[in-house]
Amino acid sequence: MGRLPQIGQDPDPAVLAAFAAHVRRVLGPADRVSVLVGHLAARRGVTDQVRDLAVAGNLPVAVVSAAKGDFPESDPRFAGLYAGPSSVKRARLAVEDADVLIMVGVTLADTVLGGAHRPPGTRRIDLGLQARIGDVTYPGVDLREALTALTEAVRPVPPRADLAGLPAWETSAASDGRDRKLTQASLWARVQDFLRPGDLLIADQGTAFYGAAELTLPDGAHLVGQPMWASIGWTLPGALGVSLAAPDRRVILVAGDGAMQQTAAELGSLLGQGLTPVVIVINNGGYTIERTIHRPDAGYHEIPAWDWTQWPAAVAPESSTVTLRASSSHGLALALNAASHHADTGRPVLIEAVLGASDVPPLLQDLTQALAASGQ
């Protein structure tokens, strides 16, 4: 067997021409063409090309959770988050009813698609490190070349009637009353109001990520997460790297108490660098995502209770971190309002948000049920 071309090498012109011809044959008779975006699109720097493709063909674009924020959610072509059987109607129609589904940089995983490893559809164009149409692989044709060929070949299609009028993401995060206990629904409703264009929202694996994935991101905002690897506790050191890499952007970290305890000392490293994130610790008494998956009453889901409002002073006493605690929707609204002011004036903020141990975001509930049903 010959060696595959290396990433970054120009593809064989004959292979690229064969791919472009195959693309035209597949797209020619198709009335419903959609795009599904995965995390490799951003890694390979082709998100602008995806937007160009969508505009050229007036194509609906859905994203998987690992690519949340990699396509502008204010774009009328945005079809929402696709999470297999847990998806909202608009995203499912776009992906599952397409005559041709163009998958750009998508890596399939149970925690992304709820056990649905192969998105349905009679014809698929898979773009990754090399291109594939159905069972035919085109070695050396990577995302850039493939997207260029697709953009040249796609023809504008009229808006789909069955997608008209459907919101890209349907949320049930209604605001609670002033004195009601904080819930996942009200927490994410408050975070939604808190977000600004250009924010970097980092969410740890668990209730934090699957709650954040249901938000509508403002223009230029991105969700940073890794649902495929599920490395609990990675977000705190991750926030350090993100803050250093993008010092001009507001960084918001949301993590559960269990995840924070895994790497809590890194808060000292982050604050010691003079960085000013907004940190929201979801204090729900342990590993709620594990409770959702298996044996909710098992003792090993519990963790020792920490007073998170005291932690910044212990690990970074010179940081002047503002610490707040909220156990109601109204209290969280006040805390986030204060966080906006202090972050704008250069002070880091940590908010301890107290929730019930069994409360989970709807997307996480749906995904775990789908996994259970599929036998994963």
| Whole-number pLDDT of residue 232 | 86
Phi, psi (rounded to 5 degrees) for 192 = -55, -45
The answer to whether 352 and 282 have CB atoms below 8 angstroms apart is no
Residue 22 has pLDDT above 60, yes or no: yes
Confidence label for 170 from pLDDT (cuts 50, 70 and 90): low
Say if 13-153 and 184-374 have the same CATH topology.
yes
CA 42 vs. chain centroid, Å, equals 12
Q: Residues 6 or more apart from 346 whose CB is under 8 A from it? A: 276
Confidence label for 172 from pLDDT (cuts 50, 70 and 90): very low
- The residue written with tokens 């975006």 in the block is 37
Lowest mean pLDDT among 2-6, 41-45, 86-90, 347-351: 2-6
Can you tell me the mean pLDDT for 51-75?
A: 94
Lowest mean pLDDT among 125-129, 158-162, 329-333, 355-359: 158-162
Strand partners of residue 282: 256, 353
- Please tell me the distance from the alpha carbon of residue 278 to that of residue 190, in angstroms, as a whole number: 14
Can you tell me the mean pLDDT for 80-99?
A: 88
| Whole-number pLDDT of residue 269 | 94
| Whole-number pLDDT of residue 371 | 63
Fold topology of 13-153: Rossmann fold (3.40.50)
Q: Hey, where are the domains in the chain?
A: 13-153, 184-374
- 287 by Cβ neighbours in 10 Å (0-12 / 13-18 / 19+) ranks as buried
Q: 184-374: CATH homologous superfamily?
A: Thiamin diphosphate (ThDP)-binding fold, Pyr/PP domains (3.40.50.970)
Residue 121: CB atoms within 10 A of its CB come to: 18
- 0.85 exceeded by pTM: no
| Whole-number pLDDT of residue 175 | 46
| Whole-number pLDDT of residue 174 | 44
How does pLDDT run across 110-148, given as a tens digit for each residue? Answer: 667 766 555 655 589 999 988 999 889 999 999 999 999
| Whole-number pLDDT of residue 9 | 65
